[in-house]
A and B are shown apart, each in its own frame.
Chain A
Amino acid sequence: MAATDIQTIDCLKDYLYRAMQLEHATIPAYLSAMYSIHPQTNSDAYHILRVVVVEEMLHLTIAANLMNAVGGKPDLTRADFVPEFPTYLPDGEKDFQVSLQCFSPSALDTFLKIERPGLAPDANTRRIPRRSRGTAKLAACPEDEELEFYSIGDFYQEIERGFEHLYRVHGAALFSGDPKRQITSEYYYSGGGELRPVVCMESARAAIGLITGQGEGDGGGIYDAERELAHFYRFEQLKLGKYYEPGDVPHDPKGPPCQVDWTAVYPTYTNPRLEKFDASSELYEYARDFNRDYAEFLALVTEAFNGKPQLLLDAVPKMFRLRNGAMQLMRNPLPASKASADSAAAGQPDGPANAAPTFEVAEFAR
């Protein structure tokens, strides 16, 4: 067992906060792609995105359970919780940023990178020096801003090591959190795996295993321990045009066709910001309303994660409302005046672009 940097429970809590940030950060990106799909088209892509989003939310919830287990307080309302897009994720090669953009080949490539499997070859390389500066970042090593993890899997491996280490030091006292704060399947149910309370070392290990397995597959296979296709391979199906079947090997799906229609998508403005909207327009109001709803949603989830799990049931209709709001924005053209300056910039759709949710919640922070 390699040594860990996580020597104190406070440090572990920092890591777990980062984990929640990390799980959340991909959600706006996936939602932006998913809602941009014309309704009743691209069924294959829509379903894949939907599953991944649901599982990311599950991971977020698991991370909150881990945090609660060690007596921490999950907080999705901290000013730095929602990143500014585009944002880096802790992929060792630092070759991509995550953007809010409509469903497109470049969005798919990003998703493949986010979920890309790959553990660093050995302990020395699992953290690598940060090369690029000046951009928002996630899952950086909390106590050393200069280092980042090679992959999401490595990051969680570090957390697991931290748990093991602190468990050796503190024993069962590590799990000092109130078990009533744990979120179970009763309150958050998704097919993507059962949500079990984290109350001991064994359940903590299982929780971490579920997150990493769903993202990247179990031990190099395409399926995770629950026999679900890992996210990377789900996305790869869209790229390769075929579904995986049990028995298939990575990168060579042999199942029924999986189709994409890149034209059946609303061309939304990439990484939109409120400042691109005309502040006196109705559209601006709606974009801002979306952000307010999103901030309220995060606040409600925070409350649920802090001892009121039943509130998660109320969060579900809110989620669906956000969907309606997002889709409404994406069908409205973003008037050219403000946006046109960037329209030639890289990453924007060709031709006029539509509005989209900006996920800027800072102004509504509590």
Chain B
Amino acid sequence: MRHHAIDVFLRFSAEVTGFKIVELRGTGESGEYLGTLDRIVGPDVVDELLSAYAELQPREEAEREQLLRRQIFGNEKLGPIARNIIKLWYVGIWYQLPRNWRERWGVREADVTFTVSPNAYTEGLLWPAIGANPAGARAPGYGSWALPPEIPQV
């Protein structure tokens, strides 16, 4: 397990998903997701992303958002991976990288669209974000659907 990497990965993930680190760890998937990234795009590219992020650390929030866009989301190599990280946390699915990314930085064999694990699906953060539960898991209980949704304010 890459201990330092996981810390930065969690900090990055918390910022781009809008969830707290406790909540990210609370999915039980943090190691799994970092492992998925390592396996698919390789630790070098992952580290490149994480160090790019680490460099942004001590800034004001407004400035950080702009920097995140310029240096990471708008980076031709790192952007698609950053977006995929958001999707991983939200629905547990690794989406195949865009064609132009694969053409430019090489096709990775494992880079196909798939659900990381059954648990990755049930622990997706999309559901709590919308005050619902993943279909078929983490049931909210009889009659709960009649009440107004509880969507956490962020």
Measured CB to CB, the residues of A under 8 A from B are 38-40, 266, 282-283, 285-286, 313-314, 316-317, 319-320, 323-324, 327-329, 331-333
Contact = CB atoms under 8 A, between A and B. Distances in A.
28 contacts: A38-B28, A39-B123, A40-B118, A266-B28, A282-B20, A282-B22, A313-B142, A313-B143, A316-B142, A316-B143, A316-B144, A317-B144, A319-B141, A320-B138, A320-B140, A320-B141, A324-B128, A324-B138, A327-B26, A327-B28, A328-B22, A328-B26, A329-B26, A331-B25, A331-B27, A331-B28, A332-B22, A332-B26
Nearest to B119: A39
A333 B21 CA distance: 12
Chain A facing B: main interface SS:
helix
Interface string B15-29: 000001111011110
A314 B144 CA distance: 7
Contacts of A286: 22, 26
A193 to B, nearest CB: 18
A328 B28 CA distance: 8
Interface of B: 20-23, 25-28, 118-119, 122-123, 128, 138-144, 147
A314 B118 CA distance: 29
Contacts of B119: 38-40
Contacts of A320: 138-141, 144
A282 B26 contact: no
A182 to B, nearest CB: 20
A317 to B, nearest CB: 4
Nearest to A327: B26
Contacts of B143: 313, 316-317
Contacts of A317: 140-141, 143-144, 147
Contacts of B20: 282
B140 A328 contact: no
A331 B119 CA distance: 13
A352 to B, nearest CB: 12
A314 B146 CA distance: 10
Closest 5 CB pairs of A and B: A328-B26, A316-B141, A317-B144, A331-B28, A317-B141
Contacts of B140: 317, 320
Given A39-B122, A320-B141, 9 more contacts: A39-B28, A39-B118, A39-B123, A40-B122, A282-B21, A316-B142, A324-B128, A331-B26, A332-B26
A323 B133 CA distance: 13
A189 to B, nearest CB: 8
A316 B27 CA distance: 22
Contacts of A319: 141
A52 B125 CA distance: 30
A316 B139 CA distance: 10
A328 B142 contact: no
A70 B136 CA distance: 43
Interface centre among B20, B25, B123, B143 (most CB of A within 10 A): B25
A320 B21 CA distance: 22
Contacts of A316: 141-144
A9 B147 CA distance: 40
A284 to B, nearest CB: 10
B9 to A, nearest CB: 15
A38 B32 CA distance: 14
A170 B139 CA distance: 47
Nearest to B27: A331
Nearest to B30: A331
A329 B20 CA distance: 13
Contacts of A324: 128, 138
